[in-house]
Amino acid sequence: VVFTQAAMPAAHPVNFLLDGEEIVFRTGAGGVLLAALNGVVVGFQADDVDPGAATGWSVLAVGQAYEITAPRRLDGLEGRLPTPWAPGRTGYTLCIPAQRLTGRLLSRGCAGERHPAGRR
């Protein structure tokens, strides 16, 4: 998750679930993510690279983050969300709707062409 902290860019890794076109993850009280995300436009980047084959991909989603508080939605996510690696980081469920989505394919001999999401 990419956000602004003290007027500077910051990035924080999270375990996440892709729920339709929304990125969902959990965090705990007092963490930088909870303070930095509610109602703010943020970025979310996911990548995968195979160094041996010199291939990979990178996707960037941008959207206005919010906390999920509706009991029905939280119940529907229960059991599907990954367990955070940091202990005690499950008190708040946050969401980033992918309002803007871009991607990039990486391969040997390719100049790193950018592709709109869903197109090659």
Find the mean pLDDT for residues 25-31: 86
Record the pTM: 0.82
CATH number assigned to the domain with residue range 2-47+60-100, chosen from the 4 options 2.40.50.140, 2.30.110.10, 3.40.50.360, 1.20.210.10: 2.30.110.10
Cβ-based neighbours of 74, under 8 Å, separated by 6 or more: 68, 93
Does residue 95 sit in helix, strand or coil? strand
Give the pLDDT confidence of 70-114 residue by residue, as tens digits.
999 999 999 999 987 877 767 899 999 999 999 999 888 765 555
* Cβ contact 58:47 at 8 Å: yes
Domain ranges of the chain: 2-47+60-100
